[in-house]
Structure 1
Amino acid sequence: MPNLLLPSRRQGYIVALSSMLLLAACGEKPQQGAGDMKVPVSVVTVQPSRTEIFVELPGRVQAIKDAQIRARVTGIVTAINFEQGSDVKDGQLLFTIDPAPYAAERAQAYAQLKNAEAEVRSARLLAERYSKLIKANAVSRQEYDNAVAQSGQAEAAVAAAKAALQVADINLGYTKVVSPIDGRIGRSLVTEGALVSAAEATQMALVQQLDRVYVDVNRSTSELATLRRALADGILTQSGDGNAVVQALLEDGTPYANQGKLLFSGVTVDPGTGQVNMRAEFPNPNQILLPGMYVRVRVPQGVDEKALKVPQQAVQRTADGRSSLIVVREGKAQTVPVSTGMIADGQTLITKGLKAGDQVVVEGFQKIRPGAPVQPTPWKQNAQAAGGQGAAAAPKGEQKAAPAKDGAETKPAEAESAAKPADESSAKSAD
């Protein structure tokens, strides 16, 4: 009997071991399938292209002519002769200051001039008479010299009286406050009945010429040095005929309709900021640019004949603040550190770390890790063109639809939505 039970136990062990091996084999198959699955990503193939390089610099609008209307005589304002916020002409009457005291001073100066002119005639006649008598020794030489001196003093008194009359006329004219330039006047800083002072130079209004404006921008010396090296090494070539044409962007990012020109770039570095000042001039026929307004100015730098560009959303930031890209090589995703340059045509220039023909992941990199197998598909640029830089930079879940070039609306997240069901189903099967 014992001999008959022994084979049955062995058979049980064999059956149990076979079951365990079968279950282990079944459990390994899903893991192998999940590891071999390729994640779909959208890529762009980088090719060199001729690109004009520019830099955007912050700037402030300044009026070309900025005339502060100030009191040049002391008195009471009797009239305001302009409409606040209107356009005024050179020489247009703006304020009237009580002229009565200055009219009286003018009359007094005129009377003093007449008195001096009367005295000079008497002194001149006496000097002429003595000039004849001195020849006949009828008068002494001393008397003759005194007469000539009195005649000269009388003429000097006439000149002083004329100057006093001229000053009185000027002060009387200053009671009529006029605009020194053509431009737009702001609000009145004084009211009728207010006392204005010449000693304190009381400001009464401000007139600014706005048909053309300046935009002052600052640029660091390090950026200028980088640009000079790029031009010297042949990386960039000078664009155009040397006349720098600049473009302004308003506060909301809208391009300003009229192009401007760069007037000069400063040669003195501000020791506090390490920057140099640059000034551009823009036509402003509709007075859209107002003094003090913040704008951004696109200043051309040159032309890169072999620029490598990628969409801005493809550039990643590492923990230490450096830039990197995810590149598909041999069917797998690889993180490549790169050096970025300026922004051109809504794309980021890559100066180091990338070569022509590389496939750069633009969408779907959130779902992959370095070394993971991927399935690259060409990236459709219409979503990026519609959303622009703002859509690419918008937080996940808060991206807004933006009008595309043909008027349609495209959501930046749509390119990734199609891949989500496949990923979820794959995750379920792996579980």
Structure 2
Amino acid sequence: MASYGIINNTARFKLLSTLFLAVSLLFGCNDGADTAMPASTSRQVSTVAIHRQAVTLTMELSGRTTPFRIAEIRPRISGLIQRRLFTEGSDVKEGEVLYLIDPAPFQAEYNNALAGLKQAQAQLQSVGSKAERYEKLLEAKTVSQQDYDDAASALNELNARIRSLQASLEVARINLGYTKITAPIPGRIGKSSVTDGAIVTAYQSTALTSIQQLDPIYVDVPQSTTELLRIRNSVGKGQFKSNSQQPEVQLILEDGTLYPHEGTLQFSDVTVDQTTGTVTLRAIFPNPDKTLLPGMFVKAVVQEGVDEQAILVPQQGVSRDHRGDPYALIVDDESKVQLRRLVLDRAIDGDWLVVSGLVPGDRVIVEGLQRLQPGTEVKATPFNPAQGQAATPAPDAQPRKQGAGAE
């Protein structure tokens, strides 16, 4: 029994010795690794240098297309539609005959008025000659004053009748011309509300058809009065310059494609819609291919003005805190990270327009932002957007100014 206890103690001693040796080797390896690592490392980040530049400011407004001109076709005389001379949905020219009203009764009225005028004109020579003779005889005391007055009165009455008949002939001629209903404007004609043989009345409430001129075409977009006042205040304070000429307008169609033709802003309405608090802006666009049809929903990109001292920052360089407030991290002259609170205006392509928070010369971090804290020492390299990664400059390379407005 004693020998068994000695053997057991010996085994325990060997086991403890082995465990102690393993722990010593483990801690020794860790100490060696810590000794091999550098005391501190600088994180690699990519930065974009901030500078001022001229930027054209635009606003995107939704609206609908409106025909340049609309004409509702109605008859000016009553009669029977003899023929319809156009194809529904086709393009018509100004002055083209659309309907033909039966001209027979109006031709008869014209002929009657013409005959009455010629009859009166034939009597004019006889009555006029009689008045002249009586005037000479009156001087010779051969006829009485009453006879001369009657002859002169008959002449005046006939002249008045001739003028009346001339007016009646003109009315008959106009009504005869109205038997041909023509297009007052060029454009695309719609469907007809009547067919051949229909009876129509002068200036009836129901239009026979309508014509819409589509080239050019209007685009009406509402703009809030708040936005209108903001633009005027910005121009008044000199924050950006307004376009003294008619600003150009671009159009985005319902499927998201860009309309190939640019338009111009015509005017801004002077009346505010009380239900929506907006005013209507009207732009005009060429429409040679008739791509734009009345009533289409579109988006108009309207120029507000030009900010000649704008500061833009890439959107990937702007973050937001837990309250949603934007901020950016910059690299200072000591290669340390600093936090800047920003006030943003709008997104322009892939950038944010900065109102305040950044100044020319700031280097904004756009890559390597993960778990980056203010005060951290970093190694900054210029960001190369073409390659999407940092471009390592040569040791003797000088920083390059970007754009015409770089500072």
What are the equivalent positions in structure 2 for 1:54-65 lying under 5 Å apart? 54-65=58-69
Taking structure 1 as reference, are residues 296 and 96 closer, same or farther at Cα in structure 2, changes over 3 Å only? same
- The Cα offsets for residues 254-276 of structure 1, whole Å up to 9 and x where unpaired, read as 1110111223334x232625444
Aligned pairs (5 A) from 1:77-116: 77-116=81-120
Which of 266, 271, 284 in structure 2 is aligned with 1:269?
271
Asked if 1:181 is matched to 2:185, the reply is yes
Aligned residue in 1 for 2:163? 159
Q: CA deviation at 1:339?
A: 4.3
Query: How far apart are residue 155 of structure 1 and its match?
Result: 0.9
Report Cα offsets for 1:374-420 as digits up to 9, x if no partner: x99999989x9xxxxxxxxxxxxxxxxxxxxxxxxxxxxxxxxxxxx
Counterpart contact for 1:66–1:208, Cα < 8 Å: yes
Structure 1 residues 131 and 155: alpha-carbon distance in aligned structure 2, compared to 1, 3 A threshold: same
Q: Which residue of 1 aligns with 2:11?
A: none
Are 1:314 and 1:363, in contact at CA under 8 Å, matched by a contact in 2?
no
The one-letter code of the counterpart of 1:270 is: V
Establish whether residue 244 from structure 1 lines up as the match of residue 247 from structure 2.
yes
Q: Is the 8 A contact 1:71 1:202 kept in 2?
A: no
Task: Quote the offset at 1:121 in angstroms.
Answer: 3.2
More helix per residue: 1 or 2?
1
Output one character per residue of 1:158-208: Cα deviation in whole Å (capped at 9) or x when no partner. Answer: 111111111111111111111122222222232222222214254122222
> Comparing 351-360 with 228-237, which one deviates more in the overlay?
351-360
Residue equivalent to 1:39: none
Decide whether aligned partners of structure 1 residues 329 and 291 sit closer, same or farther in structure 2, where only a CA change above 3 A counts.
same
- Report the identity percentage: 37
Asked if the contact 1:249–1:297 (Cα under 8 Å) also holds between the matched residues in 2, the reply is yes
Q: 1:340 to 1:114 in 2, by over 3 A?
A: same
CA distance change for structure 1 residues 111 and 312 in 2, over 3 Å: closer, same or farther?
A: farther
8 A contact 1:46–1:360 mirrored in 2: no
The match for 1:325 is 326
Equivalent residue for 2:15?
Answer: none
- Residues 215 and 124 of structure 1: is their aligned pair in 2 closer, same or farther, counting only changes over 3 Å? same
The aligned counterpart of 1:400 is none
Q: Which moved more, 1:281-290 or 1:55-64?
A: 55-64
Unmatched tracts of structure 2, length 5 or more = 1-44, 389-407
- Count of residues paired in the alignment: 334
Q: Distance in 2 between matches of 1:353 and 1:123?
A: 100
Question: Which position in structure 1 is the counterpart of 2:211?
Answer: 207
Cα distance, 1:133 vs. partner?
1.7
The DSSP-based 3-state class of the residue aligned with 1:138 is coil
Deviation at 1:129, TM superposition (A): 2.2
Task: Assess if the C-alpha contact under 8 Å between 1:71 and 1:201 holds in 2.
Answer: no
User: Any residues of structure 2 matched to 1:372-387 within 5 Å, and which?
Assistant: none
- Are 1:286 and 2:289 matched, yes or no? yes
**Distance of aligned partners of 1:202 and 1:158 in 2 relative to their CA distance in 1, 3 Å threshold:** farther
Instruction: Map Cα deviations across residues 306-342 of structure 1 (whole Å, 9 max, x no partner).
Output: 32345399687988xxx63364589999895x54423
Tell me whether 140-149 or 118-127 shows the greater mean CA deviation. Answer: 118-127
Q: Quote the Cα distance in structure 1 between the aligned partners of 2:141 and 2:356.
A: 108
Q: Secondary structure at the match of 2:325?
A: strand
Structure 1 residue matching 2:50: 3-state secondary structure: coil
Q: 1:75 aligns with which of 70, 79, 86?
A: 79
Q: Which residue of the partner structure matches residue 344 of structure 1?
A: 348
2:46, 2:338 → 1: CA distance? 11
Contact 1:53 1:342 in 2 (8 A): no
Q: Which position in structure 2 is the counterpart of 1:33?
A: none
Q: Deviations over 1:222-265 (max 9, x none)?
A: 323322332333322346x7442221111222111011122333
Question: Any runs of at least 4 consecutive aligned residues in structure 1 with deviations exceeding 4 A, and if so which?
Answer: 42-46, 312-319, 326-336, 352-365, 375-382
**Segment drifting more, 138-147 vs 346-355:** 346-355
Do the aligned partners of 1:311 and 1:362 also contact (CA within 8 Å) in 2?
no
Segment of structure 1 superposing worse, 73-82 or 48-57: 48-57
Q: 1:362 to 1:293 in 2, by over 3 A?
A: farther
Looking at structure 2, the residues matched to 317 and 205 of structure 1 have their Cα atoms a distance apart, in angstroms, of 62
**Structure 1: unaligned runs, 5 residues or longer:** 1-41, 385-431
CA distance in 2, matches of 1:209, 1:335: 55
2:134 aligns with 130
CA RMSD of aligned residues (A): 3.9
Candidates 280, 299, 303, aligned match of 2:302? 299
Q: Point out the structure with max Rg over C-alpha.
A: 2
How has the CA–CA distance of structure 1 residues 158 and 44 changed in structure 2, closer, same or farther, with 3 Å as cutoff? farther
Cα–Cα, structure 1 residues 263 and 135, in superposed 2: closer, same or farther, change >3 Å?
Answer: same
Opposite residue 85 of structure 2, the aligned amino acid is N
Sort the Cα spacing of 1:377 and 1:86 in 2 relative to 1 into closer, same or farther, 3 A: farther
The 3 A distance-change label for structure 1 pair 318 and 88 is farther
Rounded Cα–Cα distance in structure 2 between residues aligned with 1:205 and 1:380: 62
Q: Could you tell me how far 1:157 is from its partner in structure 2?
A: 0.7
3-state DSSP class of the match of 1:308? Answer: strand
Question: What do the CA deviations read for 1:51-80 (whole angstroms, capped 9, x no partner)?
Answer: 221111223322223222211111121211
Distance 1:346 1:181, change over 3 A: farther
Residues 174-183 or 356-365, more deviating: 356-365
Match of 1:191 in 2: 195
